[in-house]
Amino acid sequence: MGVVGVLRSSAYDFVMSLLAILLIVAGVLAALGVVAAVVLAFRRQTPAIGGRLEPMEPPRSKAPKVERNDTSSDTALVDTASDIGEESAESGAVGEVLTPVAPSFRDRLRRARGTFSGTFASIRGRSAITEEVWEDLEEALIRADVGIGPATELLTAVRARVKSAGITSPSELLEEVKSEMITRLVAPIDLRFSAESPTIWLMVGVNGVGKTTTIGKLGHRLVGEGKTVVMAAGDTFRAAAAEQLAMWGERCGATVIRGAEGGDPSSVIFDAVAHAGSAGADVVLADTAGRLHTKSNLMEELRKVRRVADKGVGSVTEVLLVLDATTGQNGLTQAREFAEAADLTGVVLTKLDGSAKGGIVFAIQSSLGIPVKLVGLGEHAEDLVPFDAEQFVEALFAEED
Ligand SMILES: Nc1nc2c(ncn2[C@@H]2O[C@H](COP(=O)(O)OP(=O)(O)O)[C@@H](O)[C@H]2O)c(=O)[nH]1
Ligand SMILES: [Mg+2]
């Protein structure tokens, strides 16, 4: 190898070392990039419990945090939102526009769906519609709070249909069950307004079912539609009840008329109606007590409230019985008592997002003939939605995800 050869080989070495250095630098830069990407991704993920980042949920920070003045059984409900896998508003995503979206039955009815899903799946897997299939169906309906009477009626209708249509496959049978359920649940759910303002809507029901919360949610909805709302703190049993209503009123921009603790509920409602009349308000949402200070009968009191509410300007167009869906068949007993005392125009079924099994909807509609007009699917302002029979049944039949 001559001088040229030596020079060539050192030039070659030089180029090779340069390449090696460049490779090392590129490697380090790439590693840094990966680390940065991981850190960024981690920072985006952390605040969203559950890891989903879709901006579909309404901004929770705006939802009223209602003062919890029921020290009784509802403490357990505080965590319901996180139980059902909801996300908080602080999802950490920047620049997204969060438009309030009504929660869907499919998302919120997870537990209700759970009571049916196993049975439905096992029926789908059978090869024929045997007596056992019918028994399993009946058992599932009863287990889901539908009640023996309504379950039998429903299945009798389905049996007739299966026979006349010559249905032989279990999955077609389930389609029939589904459409029969929808048919039975479809009812007029409109909330009516009176010809002369103000429109008065009364909420009745036992303690803790969600009357005050429902008024808050309704107020939020009505104000959002451009209506002026007056809330009547007719639950004078505890001062805290009026506080709770005042908070909802303040947040949605409704006037709250309250009386003295232990005062006469009828007179508070009367004052609220008079105020609404003179202020030209559109709707009065009246809260009532689920129990009383005096021994006087709650039902008597409600009759009086109704009479007094109708006395002044405007008129009562809705008397809504608020029922807690998690109380199952017990809710029916309450419903019967209230139906006797007040001319109920509809039911608001709350806490359908909780441990409710859902079947109670059928029981109410078929035993009482009173339509479920609204359902509560959570504790927040936007969690009150019109009852949609089709969506409800679809949610019960949806396969687990
Ligand atoms: N998860 C859930 N909780 C609800 C719903 N409606 C009301 N609640 C809760 O039930 C509890 C009792 O509600 P409240 O309105 O005070 O009942 P009231 O005594 O009938 O006025 C409160 O903690 C509410 O936040 C609902 O649809 N879903
Ligand atoms: Mg209340």
Q: Which of 206, 213, 251 to mutate to test the pocket of ligand 1 (most atoms within 8 A of CB)?
A: 213
Name the residue at shortest CA distance from atom 7 of ligand 1.
Answer: 210
27 pLDDT tier (thresholds 50, 70, 90): confident
Distance 210 CA to ligand 1 centre (A): 4
Give backbone dihedrals phi and psi of 320, rounded to 5 degrees, phi first. -100, 125
What proportion of the chain, given as a percentage, has pLDDT over 90? 51
Q: What mean pLDDT is predicted for residues 125-134?
A: 94
Judged against a pLDDT cut of 70, whether residue 327 lies above it is answered with yes
**Any idea of the CA torsion for 78, 82, 84, 87, to the nearest 10 degrees?**
130
* Model pLDDT, residue 79: 28
Residue of 69, 111, 207, 379 best suited for mutating to test ligand 1, as the one with most atoms within 8 Å of CB? 379
- pLDDT at residue 25, rounded to an integer: 74
Lowest mean pLDDT segment, chosen from 25-29, 32-36, 304-308: 32-36
DSSP-derived secondary structure for 227-242: --EEEE----S-HHHH
Distance 169 CA to ligand 2 centre (A): 49
Measuring from atom 23 of ligand 1, which residue has the nearest CA?
Answer: 74
Which residue, 134, 132, 138, is CA-closest to 151? 138
- What ligand 1 atom has the least distance to the C-alpha of 378? 28
DSSP secondary structure letter of residue 318:
E
Summarised one tens digit per residue, pLDDT across range 237-268 is 878 889 999 999 999 999 999 988 888 899 99
pLDDT digit string, tens, across residues 182-225: 999 999 999 999 999 999 999 999 999 999 999 999 999 999 99
β-sheet bridge partners, residue 349: 323, 375
Smallest CA separation from ligand 1 atom 17, residue: 210
The whole-number average pLDDT for the span 51-58 is 30
Q: What are phi and psi of 44, to 5 degrees?
A: -70, -35
| Ligand 1 binding site (Cβ under 6 Å of any ligand atom) | 66, 68, 70, 74, 77, 80, 205, 207-213, 290, 322, 350-351, 353-354, 376-379, 383
Strand order in the sheet with 315-324: 255-257, 229-232, 283-286, 199-204, 315-324, 346-350, 372-376, 384-386
Distance 205 CA to ligand 2 centre (A): 9
Terminal-to-terminal C-alpha distance of the chain: 74
pLDDT at 269 over 70: yes
Q: Which of 66, 75, 77, 338 has most ligand 1 atoms within 8 Å of CB, for mutation? A: 77
Band of pLDDT at residue 5, cut at 50, 70 and 90: low
Which protein residues have their CB within 5 A of the ion that is ligand 2? Answer: 211-212, 235, 241
CB 135 within 8 A of CB 120: no
pTM (2 d.p.):
0.74
Give the nearest ligand 1 atom to 69 CA: 16
